Amino acid sequence: MTHSDTAPQSHEPLAPLGSTQRTATAADRLAEAYFHETLALDPSSATFLGFPGHETEYPDFGPAGRAARAELVRSTLARLEDVTPEDDVDRVTLHAMRNELELERDRHAANLDVAVVNNIESPVQGIRQILDAMPRETEQDWRHLAGRMANIPAALEQYREGLREAVSLNRPPAAPQIVEAATQAEQYASDEGSFATLAYDPSAPEHVREDLARAADAARAAYREIARSLREEFAPGARESSACGLEDYRLHLASFLGARRDPREVYDWAVQKLLELDAEQRAVADQILSGATVQQAMAALNEDPARQLHSPEELQAWMQQLSDTALAEMSGTHFEITEPMRTLECRIAPTHDGIIYYTPPSADFSRPGRMWWSVPEGVSQHNTWEETTTVYHEGIPGHHLQCATALANAGELNEWRRMGIWVSGHGEGWALYAERLMDELGFLNDPGDRMGMLDSQRLRTVRVIFDVGFHCGFEIPAELGDLLGGARAGETWTPEDGWKFLRHNVAMAEGTLRFEWLRYMGWPGQAPSYRIGLQMWLDAREQAMAREGEDFDLKRFHSRALRLGSVGLDTLTYALAL
């Protein structure tokens, strides 16, 4: 492997984050040109990332938008062949770009990039969700908000055309996902939905309110229409099963990992990891309540008034306090945290989808990182023993540290490396690694909080088994015995088997768990990327320890890895070995 003469060796100290400044190279210029061309095709991403100029626009969700994206991938791959790296930063950039674009090219060739319908990551949710990330401070901000809402009918019409293309290419949506997405669309359009709330927001300037109300009415009508189309036009020809099949799954999984892995090997590995986790949880259960089963220990934790939150307001305040404490205690000790990175807002989302998610800061940190909690209808109690680890996952040292570190590394990384790439296996794998790390660092010494972390890890392991097994048509593993919870050993996975398996193994409110169950069936390969990503992060740490021996420093390892940005997992392994 070739090294730059000036590249830092693994045992050398890193310069303070943000203190270095590279001269832009040909690789940087290509990456940034590609990045800005993607933003022009995806104005929603421009808004999420804080780039002005596209505030009222949406991507083209139809066939023309798909074709434009494929052409950009093709032309950029061709341009990559003419670029020679000047240093290790360039080598990582080119490795990451080639890995990402080749996977996207292969997805397009297999028609896996057609318009989709599911309950979490399809235009049904995304078209509405971008409104949450838009600023609401000035009159112009509110006019942008009204303008984007006014464009929702056109965006949903393009989406409808995209779904028709999917059907023509023999990639119709699945019936269970259609039902759920249509229900969500109707909820968005209801008198209690977020559009109706936004239309009469008292903080909106008075002379913008008429435009805001008119745009919200148009958005509501468009969402009612897409719900009708889903039920009447697309449901009759829908796939009965959400399962995608082994060959498609290989590519789905590779895209979410940035690494190609054999689904059968992943499946067998996850079965063994679940058996190990179950033993670990049983030991902690005995600490909580002598002689108790895992379920009995969790029931005791749920009944503890000191571990209960009873309203969204209590949840928000608790999230913020826990997040602020973690930020204060981690800064300068275990991680690099610069001053702009220190602001992390915890918010209750304006929807009730059950999603917990993070939105990164804008490029200049003027909009802070935010942790969002979408509380499902009917969920009135949250148990802190379950959710402490979630705050660490989304905030510090999870997604906020990860995203903000890459943003702060502006002197070394081009814009694409800082903001334009997000690989689920890297990003979610890091966040799950962060949960385990907080246990290693002593932040989860309370047995209840540790049980919550293990339950989170168990959820991520259980869904590897169901996600891979269901989509690939594998047999339900008999070696799990009672852990199957009634799923039929030796049979091929069905949705009903998956539900029984999840219900037995996951401590989660039924409404939230139902959302997760539907998510796994409708978004193949994404859910396993968390646990597989965690394992690849652990493997990367072990490899660094073996290379560096007594010189290994955990804080330095984290800093070096996070400064790379959210590259694919094969690129992470490559970069850390340079």
Report yes or no: 388 and 542 within 8 Å, Cβ to Cβ.
no
The answer to whether residue 262 scores a pLDDT higher than 50 is yes
pLDDT tens per residue across span 503-553 = 999 888 788 899 999 999 999 999 999 999 999 999 999 999 999 999 999
Q: In the structure, what pLDDT confidence band is assigned to residue 270 with cuts at 50, 70 and 90?
A: very high
Residue 11: per-residue pLDDT: 56
Alpha-helical regions (H) of 110-208 = 123-129, 139-150, 152-168, 175-189, 194-199
Q: Write down the pLDDT at residue 276.
A: 97
| Rounded distance between C-alpha atoms, residue 503 and residue 516, angstroms | 11
- pLDDT at residue number 12: 65
CA distance readout (Å), 23 to 4, 15, 216, 449 = 15, 16, 47, 46
pTM of the model: 0.90
3-state secondary structure of 292: coil
pLDDT-derived band at 495 (thresholds 50, 70, 90) equals very high
Q: Encode pLDDT of 223-236 as tens digits.
A: 999 999 999 999 99
The model's pLDDT over 280-321, given as tens digits with 9 standing for 90+, comes to: 999 999 999 999 999 999 999 999 999 999 999 999 999 999
Q: Which of 441, 464, 430 is nearest to 541 (CA)?
A: 430
Quote the percentage of the chain above a pLDDT of 90.
85
- 3-state secondary structure at position 38: helix
Please report the pLDDT score of residue 18 as a whole number.
Answer: 77
What's the mean per-residue pLDDT of the chain?
93
- Each as own residue / partner, the long-range contacts of residues 43-51 (CB below 8 Å, 24 or more positions apart, any chain) are 44/126, 44/130, 47/130, 47/133, 47/134, 48/130, 48/133, 48/359, 48/360, 49/360, 49/362, 49/363, 49/419, 50/361, 50/362, 50/363, 50/364, 50/366, 50/367, 51/363
435-456 pLDDT, tens digit each = 999 999 999 999 999 999 999 9
